[in-house]
Structure 1
Amino acid sequence: MGLSFPAELEEAFKSELAAWDAADGTERLWNRDASLWTGGDEANWLAWLDVAERQLSDPARFPRFAAEVKARGFEDIVLLGMGGSSLCPEVLSFTFGRRAGFPRLSILDSTDPEQLLALDRRLNISKTLFFVSSKSGSTLEPNVFFAYFFDRARQELGDAAGSHFIAITDPGSKMEKASEESGFWKTFYGEPKIGGRFSALSDFGMVPLAAMGVDVAEFLLRARSMAKECRLPASQNPGVRLGVALGTAWKMGRDKLTIIAEKGIFDLGAWMEQLVAESTGKHGKAMIPVDREPLITAENYGADRVFVYIALDGEAAFADDVAAIEAAGHPVIRITLRERMDLGQEFFRWEIATAAAGALMGINPFDQPDVEASKIETRKLTDEFEQTGKLPAETARIADGGISLFCDDANAAALGLDETTTLSEAIRRHLGRISAGDYFAMLAYINMNAENESALKLIREAVLSRNGNATCLGFGPRFLHSTGQAYKGGANNGVFVQVTCDDAEDVAVPGQKYSFGIVKAAQARGDLDVLFERGRRAIRLHIAGDVSEALETIGNIASGAE
């Protein structure tokens, strides 16, 4: 790992490293000393520190399971999960790809009906293995995904449906009970003292990796090697050194962690987003991760950034851009993986780094006090739908050409909205609220596909080109279990545009009155209500017609072309 910091930041970084060692920071971390953080319940959430060692104690377990999966001839594996249960497997799937003789791994972490149907229509259910991945077994999304696909499996496989399902859950959870009642093929267990976002090296990550045909033992050996290095003094400790760098940067106002990842490891940023945002974003503090942002001229970036450049050895597509960013005086952290298998060590490095950064920030990096707020609001809305058959009525502030704008009274007053305000004027006024040190976030409750992501990227570019403010993009509801914690619990320096749409085709949730479209709508409205309650600068743009055309219109408004 290489660090290139401006002189002032470099001096502060060295001072913080010395202070960490003087306070026995590494020893206290490994001894699970909660006083390193806030003196709260941190010690209850540190079983991830030696999980690689425990996993390696039974070296035959994962190869045996991989052989069983291969023998059954599955073409696809679909993991049904959210947040910590799904993001690590997603990174593994993108990074390692499909192995000869083993099934392809796909992830479902969206309640968008179009996305659900697109996945379903390409599957041969009789050749598909489903992982239902949920620590508690009570999370809404995995439960509705399970309800849908178990119903589909029963239609095609009858009483054999359960043999196509595996649960990954904590002992004694509701999902363990569901797996027993439904006749699942297997149940794998997480560890109750490992939080979801720190669970990559537990069965939540390693069981899917084994099913893909990857050598799990070798992967864990890389992680264990990193764990040993992370017991060294701070200046030689790759995890603590990274964490102290991030914590020092945050203290000096550089609270936007901008991730630049080369193609071979590009999806690691999705996992890092959750780890960093959900761990640090609370009590008015946050390190905001910025992933997959379009690059601009180095001199145009603000002084609130710290960059991390991650690449596989031999990859250099962004090397010149990163060199220019460094030459412009911005802090740059460089991490190069020799090969994909080194991803195991990076998972552990970043977990240690996040724990260390949390100590410098004076927060508990293992809780997520604001995630539940959106869940509560969503539950109120779905309960009302179950009772009345409809969601509460709402009135748009502006409706124009298939796009409607919604916001609360405080945001309407701040934007000066009245009956004469046009949609273009309102959007431009909202974007005009972005000031130095702010970030802009698009919260898109639409199908997460390449077309929509490209259209939203153009909107990010339009905002980015104005003054270099950091821009983020999250697809709902998955970001609720990731960056959503920082958006609500962190500093009030975000400007948000939520995007929702009508569903061309909705899908029923078996056993419920509500549909996937209703769940998604309730999640979006609950999310926005909490942003309003926290005094955030936020609006919702709802699309009633063609999503592609509407996103183009919004992009033109943002860029000043309309």
Structure 2
Amino acid sequence: MNGPLNRTSFQLGRELQTRLEDRLIDWERAGKTTKLWNKDARLWTNSGEENWLGWLTLVEEQLEDLRPVQDAATLVCGSSFDQVVLLGMGGSSLCPDLWASTFPQQSNFPKLRVLDSIVPAQVVELESELQLEKTLFIVSSKSGNTIEARALMEYFFDRVQATAGPRNAGRQFIAITDPGTPLEEVARQRDFRRVYYGKPDVGGRFSALSSFGLVPAALMGLDIRRLLTMAQPMVHACRRERATENPGVVLGAIMAEAALSGRDKLTLVISPAIARLGAWLEQLIAESTGKDGKAIIPVDAEPLGDPDAYGTDRLFVYVRLASSPDPLQDRGIERLAAAGHPIVRIDVSEPLAITQEFFRWEVATSVAGAILGINPFDQPHVQLSKDETQRLLQYYQNQTHLPDYPPAVIENELKVFLHPSDRDFAEAASPHSMVGLLRAHLQRLKPGDYFALLAFLPSEASCDRLLQEIRRSIRDHYAVATTCGYGPRYLHSTGQAHKGGPNTGVFLLVTAEDAVDRNVPGCGCTFGTIKMAQALGDFQVLGNLGRRIVRVHLPAALQPGLERLVELVTQALS
């Protein structure tokens, strides 16, 4: 084993501390850690959970035979490839995105980039930065039929064929998928350079230490053996029967007991150097716990505020990179602790020790699921939006356009759309203007609710800044938690909690006209059409489930449109 165990401390307050102590006594007396490691489904709901626990032994299994993953490094080390681009979503993309943002480009290895969006502007921008003849593409999809990964594959395969020719194009592609999937078949037909396999008993959001995370790490030149051995101390610690000494059990019990006592907004504060860990944690927690009307709502990348900006529904977790801490975060957390907010502190010794946190949080999320009485390994509501998207795309194939929905208000090229179930709400809004509708919508926020921005926009710094302004102003005004997800990525992440969790979300879905667009070969439509079908599908499903949701549609001039939305929200709050 290499490296120390990442240190943990917590300051919970008397009530939550007592609940934690009682829970850990019960967990230990009932031998539940043994049940977890024995894959005993009765620990949860006894509905097939035993089929999804392969992640428990991944570290040791990978270390026993590193050859398949290390083979990936030989494909690119010293080769003509200067960039590797991963095409995937959710559990297939979030860990590689963390690698790419945390570690610098390694000597003699290409740069790793991740494309987990089909927003046309983002696809076009990435393509403009590539020399296609020097790019290796990874198509990563556990199911092998993820609509976004398939569309991106078809687009870039067509582009590479145009330069390399039909017979050679496949040599610039590899696939990561489970055995027997449609993607495996396509890879064989098109003569992809390699196919790497996931494990069927490891769900996508638990797959960071499988081929889905390790193959991209190898392709960018990271030391795979060291990544895995760095995780070993946490794996061993999470086997401890004494619950108080088991870091995964302790964290999971804190998460669950906090949620059961009303502190169900798990607010992540993460050192900037490893900030993308937050998106990975967001998917793991939201998709695992957001069901049966229950959820732990992860709050990632919300700007730190003063203690009085927060309600009593928060649990803060500060994941601090000990080798590169942020003094502003340190001071902010100290202020929150002094004000009595419950805080968990996790010190990550170095960037490679992120692998310990993968395992700790996987155990913790599984433990929290057991305490909450849910199955943390399924995602029953994700399919709802997928089905509605397919219905809308079929409509497009038949009618050559998506369904037209009349806006409630149009002002300065911005449009507001309401779900049909919100007619009474629309009639009550006064004045009947964009500001009036937004004000009435935001006034639906109550203590214990959360505000969610669902942005089908390019994930870029200019959008981030303005969306964060909206989050901060609403958080400070209503003292509610705020989340922000870029579409369609959030559909594979927090989307499950939005639909399967409690009806405590107030949603603002933002779409925009596309200034550029591209056809998807073999699809009969464009990236923009698929993106809009996904946005409209999620809007429809959330509304059908009785969620409080409004859609704002921006013009193609995105920056001024988004700036205008910020102004409208500010006016609505005044």
TM > 0.5 fold call: yes
Aligned partner of 1:235 in structure 2 is 244
Contact 2:421 2:544 in 1 (8 A): no
Aligned partner of 2:254 in structure 1 is 245
1:34 pairs with 18, 22, 41, which one?
41
The worse-fitting range, judged by mean Cα deviation, of 400-409 and 360-369 is 400-409
C-alpha distance in 2, partners of 1:125/1:403?
37
Aligned partner of 1:289 in structure 2 is 298
- The CA deviation at 1:99 is 1.3
Contact 1:99 1:213 in 2 (8 A): yes
Aligned partner of 1:547 in structure 2 is 558
Which TM-score applies when normalising by structure 2? Answer: 0.96
SS of aligned partner of 1:560: helix
C-alpha distance in 2, partners of 1:266/1:278?
20
Are residue 213 (structure 1) and residue 221 (structure 2) matched?
yes
Aligned partner of 2:177 in structure 1 is 169
C-alpha distance in 1, partners of 2:289/2:80?
43
Letter in 2 for 1:70: C
Are residue 147 (structure 1) and residue 158 (structure 2) matched?
no
Are residue 534 (structure 1) and residue 545 (structure 2) matched?
yes
C-alpha distance in 2, partners of 1:343/1:418?
48
1:502 pairs with 510, 513, 518, which one?
513
2:209 pairs with 201, 206, 210, which one?
201
2:357 pairs with 322, 326, 346, which one?
346
C-alpha distance in 2, partners of 1:393/1:474?
25
Contact 1:434 1:495 in 2 (8 A): yes
- The CA deviation at 1:521 is 0.4
Letter in 2 for 1:535: G
- The CA deviation at 1:559 is 2.0
The worse-fitting range, judged by mean Cα deviation, of 408-417 and 154-163 is 408-417
C-alpha distance in 1, partners of 2:423/2:228?
52
1:457-496 map, 5 Å:
457-496=468-507
Matched residues, number: 562
Aligned partner of 2:410 in structure 1 is 399
Aligned partner of 1:10 in structure 2 is 17
Fraction of identical pairs, as percent: 44
Per-residue displacement from partner, 1:353-406 (whole Å, max 9, x unpaired)?
000000111100000000000000000011111122111121111111111111
C-alpha distance in 2, partners of 1:487/1:465?
22
Aligned partner of 1:311 in structure 2 is 320
The worse-fitting range, judged by mean Cα deviation, of 401-410 and 254-263 is 401-410
C-alpha distance in 2, partners of 1:70/1:545?
42
The worse-fitting range, judged by mean Cα deviation, of 59-68 and 259-268 is 59-68
1:438 pairs with 449, 465, 469, which one?
449
Unaligned residue ranges in structure 2 (runs of 5+): 1-7
SS of aligned partner of 2:519: coil
The worse-fitting range, judged by mean Cα deviation, of 504-513 and 478-487 is 504-513
Unaligned residue ranges in structure 1 (runs of 5+): none
C-alpha distance in 2, partners of 1:354/1:490?
15
SS of aligned partner of 1:496: strand
SS of aligned partner of 1:156: helix
SS of aligned partner of 2:315: strand
The worse-fitting range, judged by mean Cα deviation, of 303-312 and 381-390 is 381-390
The worse-fitting range, judged by mean Cα deviation, of 396-405 and 91-100 is 91-100
C-alpha distance in 2, partners of 1:359/1:402?
49
- The CA deviation at 1:467 is 2.6
Per-residue displacement from partner, 1:304-344 (whole Å, max 9, x unpaired)?
00000011114133001001111111111111111111011
Letter in 2 for 1:10: Q
SS of aligned partner of 1:349: helix
- The CA deviation at 1:134 is 0.6
Letter in 1 for 2:150: N
- The CA deviation at 1:42 is 0.3
Letter in 1 for 2:232: R
Aligned partner of 1:56 in structure 2 is 63
- The CA deviation at 1:98 is 1.4
Aligned partner of 1:133 in structure 2 is 140
C-alpha distance in 2, partners of 1:300/1:248?
23
1:12-161 map, 5 Å:
12-158=19-165, 159-161=167-169
- The CA deviation at 1:545 is 4.1
- The CA deviation at 1:420 is 6.2
- The CA deviation at 1:224 is 2.6
C-alpha distance in 1, partners of 2:381/2:66?
39
Aligned partner of 2:280 in structure 1 is 271
C-alpha distance in 1, partners of 2:336/2:62?
40
- The CA deviation at 1:129 is 0.6
C-alpha distance in 1, partners of 2:561/2:32?
52
Letter in 1 for 2:9: G
Are residue 258 (structure 1) and residue 241 (structure 2) matched?
no
1:302 pairs with 283, 298, 311, which one?
311
| Structure 1 moving runs of 4+ over 4 Å | 417-420
- The CA deviation at 1:67 is 2.9
Letter in 2 for 1:281: G
Letter in 2 for 1:42: E
C-alpha distance in 2, partners of 1:83/1:448?
15
Contact 2:445 2:478 in 1 (8 A): no
SS of aligned partner of 1:495: strand
Are residue 325 (structure 1) and residue 344 (structure 2) matched?
no
Per-residue displacement from partner, 1:32-76 (whole Å, max 9, x unpaired)?
001100111100000000011111111344334313311323111
Per-residue displacement from partner, 1:227-276 (whole Å, max 9, x unpaired)?
11101021001111111110111111100010001111111000000000
C-alpha distance in 2, partners of 1:351/1:80?
24
SS of aligned partner of 1:311: strand
SS of aligned partner of 1:406: strand
Which TM-score applies when normalising by structure 1? Answer: 0.98
Contact 2:438 2:569 in 1 (8 A): yes
C-alpha distance in 2, partners of 1:173/1:373?
21
2:379 pairs with 364, 368, 384, which one?
368
- The CA deviation at 1:418 is 7.3
Contact 1:415 1:430 in 2 (8 A): no
- The CA deviation at 1:136 is 1.4
Structure 1 residues 380 and 198 mapped into 2: Cα distance closer, same or farther (>3 Å)? same
Are residue 451 (structure 1) and residue 459 (structure 2) matched?
no
SS of aligned partner of 1:21: helix
The worse-fitting range, judged by mean Cα deviation, of 366-375 and 58-67 is 58-67
SS of aligned partner of 2:344: strand
Structure 1 residues 417 and 116 mapped into 2: Cα distance closer, same or farther (>3 Å)? farther
2:389 pairs with 360, 372, 378, which one?
378
- The CA deviation at 1:101 is 1.6
Aligned partner of 2:4 in structure 1 is none
C-alpha distance in 2, partners of 1:248/1:6?
12
